[in-house]
Amino acid sequence: MNLNPHISVDCVIFGFSEGTLKVLLIEREKEKGLQVGGHKLKLPGSLISEQEDLDTSAIRTLTELTGLKNIFLKQYSVFGDPGRLKPMEDLEWLCRTSGMKVDRVVTVAYYSLIKISDSVITDKTIWHPVDKLPELIFDHNHIVMEALLNLRNEFHTKPLCFELLPKKFTLRQLQDIFESILNIKLDSRNFRKKIRKLDYLTELPEKEKNVNHKPAKLYKFDRRRYEKKETPLI
């Protein structure tokens, strides 16, 4: 496969567990003989290949590096500052691993939001809380922060929350997700009132089990019905 050493793709994969939003990072291989930057983390991404569309490159790269499949990636920005491939040791690492003389790279950035529990990922990957990221290589911290802004915007209008829930879920779980991703508090009476009006959320004839409090009803998201109207959720 022919790489194009001028353009890359990077994927910011958000996930949700234990009430916090996380990003999927990759441990850059520790290299002997090079002290600096040995253990840095990076986003899954790579140079694109010559005959591939950008979106396809992003999807393939993500699968190769993390094991994730069938993920919808949204392109949200491009980063092309001629000085973005700093510090020097990061650039050297890139030249070594790609086997190409790399100079300036414009990167096309994608993001997605997935359920951590479902995802089968390789052992080089790490889910790291977004709110206290270490220093990543190149401008990847910046790329993550921009993705987060985009995610929050989309969250209001698209049914992203259901990506994070099991098929059957309680309204409390749904509310928790809104609260922590958007970093707000919601009144549960008002929240439920609003939810009840959405005809694409259907109540199941089942309840939670084995909880030591009143068991909650289970609901599911009916994507068919949702597609018909494009109404903001919250």
Binding site for its own copies (CB under 8 A): 4, 6-7, 48, 50-54, 75, 77-78, 80-82, 104, 106, 108
Non-local CB neighbours of 78 within 8 Å, separated by 6+ positions: 106, 107, 108, 109
Q: Which is nearer to DNA, 2 or 210 (CB)?
A: 210
Q: Is 50 helix (H, G, I), strand (E, B) or coil?
A: coil
- d(C-alpha 53, C-alpha 36), whole Å: 35
Which x/- pattern, by CB under 7 A, does the window 59-98 give for DNA?
Answer: ----------------------------------------
Amino acid at 218: L
CB 9 within 8 A of CB 107: yes
- Main-chain phi, psi angles of 198, to 5 degrees: -80, 115
Q: Which is nearer to DNA, 104 or 194 (CB)?
A: 194
Q: Which two tokens stand for residue 102?
A: 């790399």
Shortest distance in whole angstroms from residue 108 CB to its own copies: 5
Could you say which residues in the range 148-187 bind DNA, by CB under 7 A?
170-172, 187
Q: Which two tokens stand for residue 112?
A: 């997605």
Amino acid at 55: D
Taken as a whole, the chain contains a residue count of: 234
Binding DNA by CB under 7 A: which of 3, 54, 100, 216? 216
Candidate segments 8-16, 25-33, 209-217, 220-228, binder of DNA by CB under 7 A:
209-217
> What are the CA-CA distances from residue 213 to residues 18, 209, 220 (Å)?
20, 10, 21
Q: Which is nearer to its own copies, 12 or 174 (CB)?
A: 12
Shortest distance in whole angstroms from residue 196 CB to its own copies: 27
Shortest distance in whole angstroms from residue 22 CB to DNA: 22
Binding DNA by CB under 7 A: which of 101, 132, 190, 224? 190
Q: Give the footprint of DNA on this chain (CB under 7 A).
A: 170-172, 187-190, 192-194, 197, 207, 209-217
